[in-house]
DNA sequence: GTCTATAGCTGGATAGAC
DNA sequence: GTCTATCCAGCTATAGAC
């Protein structure tokens, strides 16, 4: 990868963090990258193409950096802790708030939809096996759609990132509350056999009754 | 409220839905509102001011429309169903995807932060009493920070809206999985006294142990 | 591959007629 | 209050020198 191309990819992420999707342009990107504005078009054709490429490359890099940590997660609360660490680190250097900006842009720019969906999927692909592992044998796993849950976690994380940008105190509080939810799930998993059977019975009964609640496969 | 002012407020929401925060301008707003471009500045001074005003007014209107339904919610899954209905209706007419756009814009436009935070708070103020009511007597309520949970729900909803724009199938699946989580919580609430005590004991033990998990008050 | 220069357009914002 | 006209900044994209 040529140096200039990489500088443009990095500069795109920096510019997205500083100016948001509303303030992005070949000029703001080039300024952040420290290169000439015309090189955006020489190397990537259009600004949107560069945005898509930066989204893919940047997310892949970040995901690779956290892959190891995900495999070491041993509980739902540890998963939340990794999410917290990721959030703090990425707020400074990274790619998650960038992903939120690109998701917002993709809502009305169809050409951004595919790259952003793929980038989010990279995170989902990390989260999903962790959940499969953590919830193995849990009553929840018997009725819940784990891939769906992984998607909810990834999407919810993006929503919390955006919320954090306008209300840091509220966002901290929200994360704390989610930790309590994780505690509940873990508590159910740690129940004795009798109570556990009761929960399981209750869950499968409810799941059978409710059509729209069944996981989509 | 003068007719033109209202048309501009409505036109702002339409323009945000059609072009996103990246494509918003006095001209696109005026076109959507069917008025002259200069009137944006006459009535609101700047585009950002108009964005803030539209955010407040539009959200207040939508929240009022759903307030009644929130009071009628009798279970967590009914709350999710209201969220679903809201999502479907707002995707066509509304204000939630607009809120996502404004949140994205607010990340790098400090003047948008206050209005968007207030708008999100309007939704939180609806969700919070519902959760208080639904979780009264639940083991979860004893350790969880309900206001925090309401914030997580609102922020997560925004994240799901953004995700839906790039992967509709994945988003549907995510919502289905959340419904299963609601089933779990309800199942715990419906347990007999013995099993219930076991869960409660397990939860408070874990809650005491984990510093960062305690609700912020 | 990288630069300067520029065409052509869209944007925020204002002046001034009505 | 609303319109036309306009200034000027910033934008995408390309042409052409180096």
In angstroms, the separation between the Cα of residue B155 and the nearest Cα of chain A is 5
Same domain, A57 and A38: no
According to the model, what pLDDT value does residue A217 have? 36
**Shortest CB distance from A180 goes to which of B144, B163, B183?**
B144
Residue A71 lies in a domain: yes
Residue B150 lies in a domain: yes
Cβ of residue B35 lies below 7 Å from strand D: yes
Same domain, A40 and A59: no
Whole-number Å distance between alpha carbons of B181 and B76: 9
**Does A209 score more than 70 pLDDT?**
no
Residue B31 lies in a domain: no
Query: To which residue do tokens 């020489």 refer?
Result: A42
Residue B63 lies in a domain: yes
Alpha helices in chain B (DSSP H): 3-19, 26-33, 38-44, 47-72, 76-93, 96-106, 110-134, 139-143, 146-166, 168-189, 193-209
According to the model, what pLDDT value does residue A87 have? 85
CATH number of the domain at A16, please: 1.10.10.60
Cβ within 8 Å, pair A162-B101: no
Per the structure, the residue whose CA is closest to nucleotide C5 at C1' is A38
Which chain A residues have a beta carbon less than 8 Å from that of B101? 104, 107
pLDDT band at A207 (very low <50, low <70, confident <90, very high): low
CATH number of the domain at B69, please: 1.10.357
CA of B24 to C1' of D1 (A): 24
Residue A215 lies in a domain: no
Q: With contact defined as beta carbons under 8 Å apart, do A110 and A55 qualify?
A: no
Q: Whose CA is closest to A27, among A17, A10, A18, A40?
A: A40
Same domain, A8 and A86: no
Residue range(s) defining the domain that contains residue A26 = 1-45
Same domain, A66 and A94: yes
CA B68 to chain centre: 16
Task: Please report, for residues A184, B146, B150, the alpha-carbon distance to residue B128 in angstroms, rounded to integers and kept in the order given.
Answer: 19, 7, 5
Cβ within 8 Å, pair B179-A139: no
Cβ of residue A37 lies below 7 Å from strand D: yes
Mean pLDDT of chain B: 90
**Does B82 score more than 60 pLDDT?**
yes
According to the model, what pLDDT value does residue B66 have? 94
Which chain B residues have a beta carbon less than 8 Å from that of A52? none
Same domain, A12 and A53: no
Task: Please report, for residues A215, A217, B173, B175, B198, the alpha-carbon distance to residue A141 in angstroms, rounded to integers and kept in the order given.
Answer: 11, 14, 15, 16, 21
Q: Which residue has the higher pLDDT, A209 or A187?
A: A187
Crossing angle between the packed helical segments A146-166 and A168-189, to the nearest 10 degrees: 160
Whole-number Å distance between alpha carbons of B150 and B41: 37
Note the pLDDT tens digit of each residue in A66-111: 999 999 999 999 999 999 999 888 777 757 799 999 999 999 999 9
**Shortest CB distance from A103 goes to which of B106, B162, B192?**
B162
DSSP chain A: --HHHHHHHHHHHHHHHHHTGGG--HHHHHHHHTS-THHHHHHHSSHHHHHHHHHHHHHHHHHHHHHHHHHH--SHHHHHHHHHHHHHHHHHH-SHHHHHHHHHHHTT-HHHHHHHHHHHHHHHHHHHHHHHHHTTT-HHHHHS-HHHHHHHHHHHHHHHHHHHHH-HHHHHHHHHHHHHHHHHHHHHHTS-HHHHHHHHHHHHHHHHH-GGGSPP-
On whether any CB of chain B is under 8 Å from the CB of A109, the answer is yes
**Does A8 score more than 90 pLDDT?**
yes
Q: What is the mean pLDDT of residues A160-184?
A: 93
According to the model, what pLDDT value does residue B94 have? 59
Residue A216 lies in a domain: no
Which chain A residues have a beta carbon less than 8 Å from that of B103? 104, 162-163, 165-166
Whole-number Å distance between alpha carbons of B98 and A72: 38
Q: Which bases of strand D sit closer than 7 A to a protein CB?
A: 1-5, 10-16
Same domain, A21 and A107: no
pLDDT band at B76 (very low <50, low <70, confident <90, very high): very high
Same domain, A32 and A69: no
DSSP-derived letter for residue B35 is: S
Characterize A193-209 residue by residue with b for buried, 16 or more Cβ atoms within 10 angstroms of its Cβ, and e for exposed: eebbebbbebbeebbee
Note the pLDDT tens digit of each residue in B123-166: 999 999 999 999 998 888 888 899 999 999 999 999 999 999 99
Per the structure, the residue whose CA is closest to nucleotide D5 at C1' is B38
pLDDT band at A215 (very low <50, low <70, confident <90, very high): very low
Note the pLDDT tens digit of each residue in B17-64: 999 999 999 999 999 999 999 999 999 999 999 999 999 999 999 999
Same domain, A76 and A104: yes
Please give the tally of structural domains in chain B: 1
**Does B207 score more than 70 pLDDT?**
no
Same domain, A134 and A75: yes
Q: With contact defined as beta carbons under 8 Å apart, do B11 and B34 qualify?
A: yes
Whole-number Å distance between alpha carbons of A153 and B169: 15
According to the model, what pLDDT value does residue A88 have? 86
Whole-number Å distance between alpha carbons of B107 and A119: 20
Same domain, A121 and A20: no
Q: With contact defined as beta carbons under 8 Å apart, do A182 and A76 qualify?
A: yes
Residue B192 lies in a domain: yes
pTM for the model stands at 0.93
CA of B169 to C1' of C14 (A): 48
Query: Which residues, 6 or more positions from B82, have their beta carbon under 8 angstroms from its beta carbon?
Result: B66, B69, B70, B73
**Does A7 score more than 60 pLDDT?**
yes
According to the model, what pLDDT value does residue B138 have? 86
Same domain, A76 and A118: yes
Residue A122 lies in a domain: yes
Cβ of residue A27 lies below 7 Å from strand D: yes
Per the structure, the residue whose CA is closest to nucleotide C11 at C1' is B25
Crossing angle between the packed helical segments A110-134 and A146-166, to the nearest 10 degrees: 120
């Amino acid at each position: 990868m040529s140096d200039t191309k990489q500088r443009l990819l990095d500069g795109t992420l920096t510019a997205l963090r500083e100016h948001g999707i509303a303030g992005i342009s070949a000029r703001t990107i080039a300024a952040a990258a420290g290169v000439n504005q015309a090189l955006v078009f020489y190397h990537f054709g259009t600004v949107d193409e560069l945005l898509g490429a930066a989204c893919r490359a940047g997310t892949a890099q970040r995901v690779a950096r956290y892959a190891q940590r995900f495999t070491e997660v041993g509980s739902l609360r540890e998963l939340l802790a990794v999410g917290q660490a990721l959030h703090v680190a990425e707020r400074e250097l990274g790619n998650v708030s960038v992903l939120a900006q690109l998701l917002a842009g993709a809502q009305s720019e169809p050409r951004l939809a595919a790259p952003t969906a793929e980038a989010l999927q990279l995170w989902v692909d990390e989260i999903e096996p962790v959940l499969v592992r953590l919830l193995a044998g849990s009553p929840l796993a018997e009725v819940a759609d784990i891939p769906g849950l992984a998607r909810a976690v990834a999407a919810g994380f993006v929503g919390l990132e955006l919320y954090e940008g306008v209300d840091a105190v509220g966002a901290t509080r929200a994360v704390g509350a989610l930790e309590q939810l994780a505690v509940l799930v873990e508590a159910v998993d740690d129940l004795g056999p009798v109570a556990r059977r009761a929960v399981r019975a209750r869950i499968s009964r409810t799941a059978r009754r409710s059509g729209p609640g069944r996981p989509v496969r």
